[in-house]
A = this chain, B = another copy of it.
Amino acid sequence: MESEFSNAFPESCAMKGGEGPHSYARNSTFQRSAIEAAKKLLQSAVIDNFDLKTTCGSSGNQIRIADFGCSTGPNTFIAAQNIIEAVQLKYQSQSQNQSTPEFFVFFNDQASNDFNTLFQKLPPNRNYFAAGVPGSFYGRLFPSQSLHLVHSSSSLSWLSKMPKELTDRNCGAWNKGRIFYTNAPKEVEDAYEGQFKMDLATFLQARAQELVGNGIMILMIPAAHDVIDFSVDLYGGKDYEVLGSCLMDMAKLGLISEEKVDTFNVPTYFPRLKDLKKMLESNEDLSVEKMDLLDGNNLIIEPNLGRHVSQCRAAFEVLIEKHFGDGIVDELFDRFAQKLMKSPQLTMYPQKLKLVMLFVVLKRKV
């Protein structure tokens, strides 16, 4: 069995599309294994929490589903299919007299996402109508009360923007010499956490407005164990530290400017589990129906270094090119691979895994 895990490289950021060796589509096995692991949880969530009568009564027997942070597939198609199967299963057991509903699936990601690739890869024999919805999910994207079921997997770790204080040399949160919040002053982590908290609240509020009453939202969010010490423990943080040190090396060699490195920070954050739970419980229009952790056995580290590097590259290539300009990515990831090869203990041991995936079901109050 080829079970693969690299790290939390979520789907929401604008990724390199297409089918090339570094494309996101070829390097998103972690998300897929997470989605497959989540299939059972997801299907029980639908069966236990999705109320057919309430949601479909006023909508002419249509069910509208949205996936936030879809990237270019195929994971988003697998998730959509899993959800639809569960709804159909529930439907068949409950409403023998009604005709089966029609499904309309909306695939959302940023406008810079490669929707052309996504659309080319839509399953040809799908049993749903499909649309792409471009735009940041940290804002409204759908009319009020227009969605019955919301899904988002591994996307909410991406921040909407970087807190300014990280690049302000007069500020305690100035993150000079690093590109992430691990092994950084507490102020740096606080700045990351503050942004994450604001972003998540914005996401929940927008979705609460878009969901119909009793509509449900199924989220999978990478998080850090509560007992974690970010300065030594966070799996994933090590990767970013190595990547940061490669950038620093390149700055020392004059290949990129040091200032550019100082103003670059990886825009992802992994909240502590107990903080995340509190944030999810804080929206007054949404009730938490279920929380669960995904089985760690399904989150196995990518044992192949080359593929691991490809996955990192797929996740960050666009971001890095945007910040540093073209032409540094090949060299940067060559250096990254070499450093990892010299210290495989940094990334290659599953027992060092400190990230978990929180699975949560929220329901829109009526």
Interface of A toward B, CB cutoff 8 Å: 58, 60-62, 102-104, 106, 111-112, 114-116, 119-120, 122, 129-135, 140-146
Q: Which chain B positions have C-beta within 8 A of A129?
A: 133, 140-143
Q: Which chain B positions have C-beta within 8 A of A122?
A: 111, 134
Q: Known interface pairs A60-B146, A62-B143, A143-B129. Does A114 touch B111 (Cβ–Cβ under 8 Å)?
A: no
Q: Which chain B positions have C-beta within 8 A of A143?
A: 60, 62, 102-104, 129
Nearest opposing residue in chain B for A115, CB measure: B115
- Whether B60 and A142, one on each chain, are in contact in the complex, defined by CB atoms closer than 8 angstroms, is no
Nearest opposing residue in chain B for A119, CB measure: B134
Q: Which chain B positions have C-beta within 8 A of A104?
A: 142-143, 146
Nearest opposing residue in chain B for A103, CB measure: B143
Name the residue among A116, A120, A135, A144 with the largest chain B CB count within 10 angstroms: A116
A60 to B215, CA, bound (A): 15
Q: Known interface pairs A58-B58, A111-B120. Does A133 touch B134 (Cβ–Cβ under 8 Å)?
A: no
Q: Which chain B positions have C-beta within 8 A of A135?
A: 130
- Whether A144 and B111, one on each chain, are in contact in the complex, defined by CB atoms closer than 8 angstroms, is no
A58 to B111, CA, bound (A): 31
A122 to B133, CA, bound (A): 11
Q: List 9 A-B contacts (CB under 8 A).
A: A60-B144, A62-B146, A103-B143, A114-B116, A129-B133, A129-B140, A129-B143, A130-B133, A131-B131
A314 to B302, CA, bound (A): 46
- Whether A102 and B144, one on each chain, are in contact in the complex, defined by CB atoms closer than 8 angstroms, is yes
A116 to B132, CA, bound (A): 10
- Chain B nearest CB: distance from A104 CB in Å? 5
A103 to B142, CA, bound (A): 9
Q: Which chain B positions have C-beta within 8 A of A115?
A: 115-116, 119, 132
Q: Which 8 A-B pairs have the closest CB atoms?
A: A119-B134, A102-B143, A131-B131, A132-B132, A62-B143, A111-B119, A115-B115, A131-B133
A144 to B132, CA, bound (A): 19
A103 to B146, CA, bound (A): 11
Nearest opposing residue in chain B for A114, CB measure: B116
- Chain B nearest CB: distance from A105 CB in Å? 11
Q: Which chain B positions have C-beta within 8 A of A102?
A: 143-144
A61 to B58, CA, bound (A): 12
- Chain B nearest CB: distance from A136 CB in Å? 12
Q: Which chain B positions have C-beta within 8 A of A119?
A: 111, 115, 132, 134
Q: Which chain B positions have C-beta within 8 A of A60?
A: 58, 143-146
A144 to B146, CA, bound (A): 16
A364 to B140, CA, bound (A): 31
Name the residue among A115, A122, A131, A146 with the largest chain B CB count within 10 angstroms: A131
A128 to B62, CA, bound (A): 22
- Chain B nearest CB: distance from A99 CB in Å? 10
A130 to B106, CA, bound (A): 11
A120 to B113, CA, bound (A): 10
- Chain B nearest CB: distance from A209 CB in Å? 10
- Chain B nearest CB: distance from A108 CB in Å? 9
A112 to B145, CA, bound (A): 31
Q: Which chain B positions have C-beta within 8 A of A114?
A: 116
Q: Which chain B positions have C-beta within 8 A of A103?
A: 143
- Chain B nearest CB: distance from A238 CB in Å? 35
A132 to B135, CA, bound (A): 12
A102 to B122, CA, bound (A): 28
Q: Which chain B positions have C-beta within 8 A of A61?
A: 144
